[in-house]
A and B are shown apart, each in its own frame.
Chain A
Amino acid sequence: NAGVMQNPRHLVRRRGQEARLRCSPMKGHSHVYWYRQLPEEGLKFMVYLQKENIIDESGMPKERFSAEFPKEGPSILRIQQVVRGDSAAYFCASSPGTGSDTQYFGPGTRLTVL
């Protein structure tokens, strides 16, 4: 049973470009979370999604950031017009859904903005 998958593992973008980060949850999991981690800091909640629905995006900046979890395919975190301050590790986690609190994390995508 494959764990949570994220790709790419490393992503380099120049200021003003777009970054697309993908997350495939564990098989059978319908809930996906995205977190941002700056060096030497904790995980900051960004958004929580279920299939085709954004449930809680209270941690996501209102501009330039968006997330989706389509019926088919991975969840996507999209950052438009990246700036240097967007450089961080972005982790996604998945959970089975109702009745289970446990989150399983992916390996993360390390975004570097030049």
Chain B
Amino acid sequence: GENVEQHPSTLSVQEGDSAVIKCTYSDSASNYFPWYKQELGKRPQLIIDIRSNVGEKKDQRIAVTLNKTAKHFSLHITETQPEDSAVYFCAFRVSGTYKYIFGTGTRLKVLA
């Protein structure tokens, strides 16, 4: 079926450390993988995305890596700051459709 497993469900790091969140997806033909950040009571906001023709994409302190063979993709946040504290969701687009499947979320806490 269409699903994505996201780990860990919660993550606490010290300010300045790195955080890594991993997702494993089911659709081997999927070609689009976005990551969203959602602060409490707010809308999900796209922070980075990757397409299957690349293995890594970086935007300042945020990077995403994709391993199509293993059907894994990961979010990497370096030099974490307290304002990075939020829930992060991975997602993928089901191949041949415009339907998106979201992970269950990772609650990141950056401790000052």
Contacts and interface: CB of A to CB of B under 8 A. Distances in A.
Interface stretch (B44-52, B61-69, B76-84): B44-52
Contacts, number: 53
Interface stretch (A13-21, A41-49, A62-70, A78-86): A41-49
A33 B98 CA distance: 9
A107 to B, nearest CB: 5
B43 A102 contact: no
A17 B51 CA distance: 43
Contact of B43 (A31, A41, A48, A105): A105
A55 interface: yes
B43 A103 contact: no
A57 to B, nearest CB: 10
Contacts of B45: 105
A27 to B, nearest CB: 17
A59 B99 contact: yes
A108 to B, nearest CB: 6
Given A31-B98, A105-B45, A42 B34 contact: no
Nearest to A92: B43
A1 interface: no
A103 B89 contact: no
B13 interface: no
Contact of A45 (B89, B100, B103): B100
Given A41-B104, A101-B49, A55 B44 contact: no
Contact of B44 (A41, A43, A48, A95): A43
Contacts of A31: 98
A50 to B, nearest CB: 9
Contacts of A55: 98
A107 B43 contact: yes
B4 to A, nearest CB: 9
Given A101-B49, A102-B34, A106-B43, A48 B89 contact: no
Interface of A: 31, 33, 35, 40-45, 48, 55-56, 58-59, 91, 95, 101-108
6 contacts: A33-B100, A44-B102, A59-B99, A101-B34, A102-B34, A103-B34
